[in-house]
């Protein structure tokens, strides 16, 4: 009997040692808002609609000798620019007044390794250049700083429909390294939100 009592006492002591201590507890509270807002993006300028929600920007065939250099600190682009505008039409946006176009370069062809402000060219093609995405004033939109572009959303109070236009452009810029001719493609995913 003593042997059985000792085993029971040992099991109880082991169970007491393996219990956890409750340091703190709390509740996760999720907040948000669901809207019926919906927008379409229609490409303008030198861009055209591609498959699905893709927009194709034809940069043309450009010689390295026509490209500007992506010098550190250089903040604007002046030559070999391809215009790109977004005509945005929305419904159910009566509570909003701004459209925000957020870019995600890392989900696309990435940032250029020589100049992170620029969009890298897709591997397997041309080298020694990158793509500068610029705003309406030809200032480079820095791909290394959570790039976004904002535009006023004009809303019809009666219908809740809204329109906006975002004017951008793109240009190839020379970077460091050997200049290798070839396909100079890149991709830049974007998400459109409202505020």
| Predicted local confidence at residue 44, as pLDDT | 65
CA-CA distance, 70 to 143, in Å (whole number)? 13
Mean confidence (pLDDT) of the chain: 76
CB–CB of 193/42 below 8 Å? no
Phi and psi for 61 in degrees, rounded to 5? -105, 120
Structure tokens at 182: 């070839």
Q: What pTM, to 2 d.p., does this model score? A: 0.74
Structure confidence by residue, pLDDT tens digits, 101-136: 888 999 889 999 999 999 998 999 888 888 888 888
* Of 39-43, 87-91, 99-103, 160-164, the least confident: 39-43
Length of the chain: 195
CA–CA distance, 111 with 96 (Å, rounded to integer): 31
Residue 143's pLDDT band (cuts 50, 70, 90)? very high
Q: Which structure tokens are listed for 56?
A: 């194709």
Selected residue with higher pLDDT from 188 and 47? 188
Which pLDDT belongs to residue 37? 59
> Could you tell me which residues come within 8 angstroms of residue 36 by beta carbon, excluding any fewer than 6 positions away?
91, 92
Domain coordinates of the chain in residue numbers? 37-58+65-194
Provide the pLDDT for residue 31. 41
Q: Which pLDDT band, with edges at 50, 70 and 90, does 76 fall under? A: low
Distance from C-alpha of 103 to C-alpha of 108, rounded to nearest angstrom = 9
Q: CA 163 → CA 46, 102, 168, distances in Å?
A: 20, 17, 17
Note the pLDDT tens digit of each residue in 35-58: 555 667 776 666 666 656 677 888
Residue 14, pLDDT above cutoff 80 = no
23: left (phi over 0), alpha (psi -120 to 50) or beta: alpha
* 46 or 184, which is more confident: 184
131: closest CA among 115, 147, 145, 151?
115
Phi and psi torsions of 9, nearest 5°:
-65, -40
* Token couple for 104: 């995600």
The pLDDT assigned to 188 comes to 87
pLDDT value at 7 more than 80: no
Question: In CATH, what class is 37-58+65-194?
Answer: mainly beta
40 vs 146, residue with greater confidence: 146
Residue 19: pLDDT band by 50, 70, 90 thresholds? very low
Report the alpha-carbon distance of residue 188 to residue 59 in Å, rounded. 14
Q: Please give the backbone phi and psi of residue 153, each rounded to the nearest 5 degrees, phi first.
A: -105, 115
């Amino acid at each position: 009997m003593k042997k059985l009592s000792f085993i029971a006492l040992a099991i109880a002591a082991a169970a007491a040692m393996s219990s956890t201590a409750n340091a703190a507890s709390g509740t996760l509270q999720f907040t948000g808002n669901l809207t019926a807002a919906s927008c379409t993006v229609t490409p303008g300028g030198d861009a055209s609609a591609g498959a699905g929600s893709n927009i194709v920007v034809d940069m043309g065939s450009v010689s390295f000798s026509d490209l500007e250099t992506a010098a550190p600190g250089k903040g604007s682009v002046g030559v070999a620019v391809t215009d790109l505008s977004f005509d945005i039409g929305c419904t159910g946006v009566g509570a909003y007044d701004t459209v925000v176009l957020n870019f995600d370069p890392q989900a696309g062809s990435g940032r250029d390794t020589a100049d992170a402000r620029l969009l890298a060219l897709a591997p397997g093609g041309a080298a020694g250049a990158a793509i500068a995405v610029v705003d309406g004033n030809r200032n480079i939109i820095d791909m290394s700083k959570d790039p976004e572009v904002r535009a006023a959303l004009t809303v019809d109070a009666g219908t809740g429909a809204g329109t906006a236009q975002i004017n951008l452009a793109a240009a190839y810029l020379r970077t460091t390294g050997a200049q290798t001719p070839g396909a100079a493609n890149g991709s830049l995913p974007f998400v459109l939100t409202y505020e």
